[in-house]
A = this chain, B = another copy of it.
Amino acid sequence: VKLLTVARDLRRRKARERDGRFVAEGVRAVEELLRSPLTVRGALAAPQLHDAPRGAALRAALAARGVPVEEVSERDFASAADTEAPQGVLAIADVPARDYAAVPTSGAATVLVLDAVQDPGNVGALVRTAAALGAHATVALPGTVDVWNAKVVRAAVGAQCHHHVFHSTWDALAAFLDAASVVLWAADAGGAPPVAPAGARVALAVGNEGAGLSPAVRARADRVVGIPITAQVESLNVAVAAGILLHALRP
């Protein structure tokens, strides 16, 4: 099967789940993929890649790594690409097997929980933020957009290649919280400023952009935390709020 056909097919969530593959598009995302331990299956390159900043170097790096590269026309590339003005490079990689084992079993631990966050740009920014601020894992609960969606990968600038982000059911999260002695903090307007003792083991949950937190998360939360804001706006952007709260949780 041609890589172009595979890449087109992987634009559907069902195909990604069936094949256990995803697509990283654009120079920066593919660079991050190559820097990561993930298995890269192939890449597409279009002529405009040579005009992109660092494009020629990336093309060479793909070849040096032995990644099969299929050269396609600008038009064919556009048919598989997610962006409006594609840089002419995408790579197909295996979705890594990940679970709660990424969280240390003792000492300080920080986990970000995405409770039905729907906007791909927000989820990408959340994954990038969790990775940057040293969270051990990010858990996407049902209702959250697929973290291997091309828009999410782009918004995260490929951070999901390094950071342990994975989908989980609520039951699996609840079992982990019990087994690993991790407390659940729910972020909500009107919550108290977060103050974490040294060595705290915390899972911080952020909710849906419109509906907020799910009943299951609210019911289980050990504490509701938030950031005081002015009356000028209704709320902070979810990634900005998570950034401030995760920063406050850092040792």
Contacts and interface: CB of A to CB of B under 8 A. Distances in A.
Contact of A121 (B121, B132, B234): B121
Contacts of A157: 233-234
A162 B131 contact: no
A91 interface: no
A159 B233 contact: yes
Interface in A203-251: 227, 229-230, 232-237, 239-244, 247
A230 to B, nearest CB: 5
A232 B121 contact: no
A154 interface: no
Given A232-B159, A247-B244, A237 B133 contact: no
A59 to B, nearest CB: 20
Complex copy number for this chain: 2
Given A243-B243, A244-B243, A236 B132 contact: yes
A87 interface: no
Contacts of A242: 240
Contact of A243 (B28, B159, B234, B240): B240
A129 interface: yes
A237 to B, nearest CB: 5
A129 B238 CA distance: 11
Contacts of A247: 227, 244, 247
B133 A229 contact: yes
A131 B235 CA distance: 10
A162 B232 CA distance: 6
Given A243-B243, A247-B244, A236 B128 contact: yes
A84 to B, nearest CB: 13
Contacts of A163: 232-233
A134 interface: yes
